[in-house]
Amino acid sequence: MYLSRFLSIHALWVTVSSVMQPYPLVWGHYDVCKTQIYTEEGKVWDYMACQPESTDMTKYLKVKLDPPDITCGDPPETFCAMGNPYMCNNECDASTPELAHPPELMFDFEGRHPSTFWQSATWKEYPKPLQVNITLSWSKTIELTDNIVITFESGRPDQMILEKSLDYGRTWQPYQYYATDCLDAFHMDPKSVKDLSQHTVLEIICTEEYSTGYTTNSKIIHFEIKDRFAFFAGPWLRNMASLYGQLDTTKKLRDFFTVTDLRIRLLRPAVGEIFVDELHLARYFYAISDIKVHGRCKCNLHATVCVYDNSKLTCECEHNTTGPDCGKCKKNYQGRPWSPGSYLPIPKGTANTCIPSISSIGNPPKFNRKWPNISSLEVSNPNQVAPKLALSTVSSVQVANHKRANVCDNELLHCQNGGTCHNNVRCLCPAAYTGILCEKLRCEEAGSCGPDSGQGAPPRGSPALLSLLLLLAALLGTAGPLGI
């Protein structure tokens, strides 16, 4: 009998697993880095380590060119075609929109025909070097999560350096060198990321892989972030827990993927030959049609939201922290030194919440965690590379704070089902709902909910999945010891 019951449960678990397949391994409640608990002071939020989602960071950057007048078109000039370097009747004219190639075209929507791109002036002052610095600034610390990809409309440069800054452009350090001949250009032996390992992942290399001269079918330059992640997370990035553990414990590794600014230094245009053709200098220029930078705001694992307001990115800090990167404790919450949140232990992490200062400590209230109903669980974004963090499973926490915590907040929309927050103390609920956060139907309390009541709550997850989970829980509850 026990064996039969075990096999039934196993079959059900296989079914549940198949239904869960599209979703990440971690489940979250409203906001994945916090959950509700009850204390003697009432219902409050309990916070865990968290981070914003990865996104396209080019939407938020500012671009600067040096020299500032390096863009073609002022005065107008002719240049040679991309596919035929000896057909030199194309025109760049900054005063004519159809013929202009301003810097913002490095970040516009791709896929149009003809393609749009930024373009530099031609190398008409040869042998004086044709060099350009393109600086991308966020005025905010960001963490890179995917490859940096630069798409050229001209030939890829013979020599280029990608640099990073961690102090808003005051100092710079190289990320990677690119050249057709690394030894000649930078006195470095050529390497690729595939030549690195866990122990040499921070090595600054020169690569010849992306500098093939003047060819129309080779346009892209990469700075490989994911290949470096793969040294810790595996080739398909399936073991993100290992990567998070390394990032948590190795500051140099964490800083390697952290920037405030990027700088693309274009040092020599694509020549494609040993010698520069001085009779056709209009062949030589730089043109970039797209730059991709994916990452997230660095909030030190103290925020899940980063807002863009007044041309500025800012973390919406939790855990009683403050600052642009949530890098310090709030006033009156300096009972212990500030610390970043932690990915460890995987998967829930540790919030390292700032606690009240000594002067504001009262008798610590007792905490009893109330786990959410399975019907109120929501799935995290199924498209993200890895889950953020799950509901905490640590034992009850004690926080020395004698003041009542805010129950609700209109900005964060804590009140559910259309409820509104009144003085941060209670939710004013629509007629059909009740509860501290308007989370319950009134007809449920009266026992009168039914198909005709018109108050059925919409499901918040996959109905099939929830039913299977509930059935599995019921079977597990009645199975008893297997005794095999």
Which of 34 and 475 is assigned the larger pLDDT?
A: 34
When pLDDT is averaged across residues 356-363 and rounded to a whole number, the result is 66
Q: What's the pLDDT at 83?
A: 64
What does the pLDDT look like over 30-63, one tens digit per residue?
Answer: 245 776 677 777 777 777 778 998 999 999 999 9
pLDDT of 326 reads: 96
Tell me what percent of the residues of the chain surpass a pLDDT of 90. 49
Residue 174 confidence (pLDDT) above 70: yes
**pLDDT > 70: what percent of the chain?**
70
Higher model confidence: residue 145 or residue 395?
A: 145
User: Tens digits of per-residue pLDDT, 411-442?
Assistant: 555 677 778 887 777 788 888 888 777 777 88
Structure tokens at 38: 């009850």
Continuous segment of H or E residues that includes residue 133: strand 132-144
pLDDT of residue 21: 33
Per-residue model confidence as pLDDT tens digits over 308-359: 999 999 999 999 999 999 999 999 999 999 999 998 887 778 899 999 987 6
Q: Which domains does the chain have, with CATH numbers?
A: 55-297 (2.60.120.260), 408-441 (2.10.25)
pTM: 0.68
Band (pLDDT 50/70/90 cuts) for residue 86 is confident
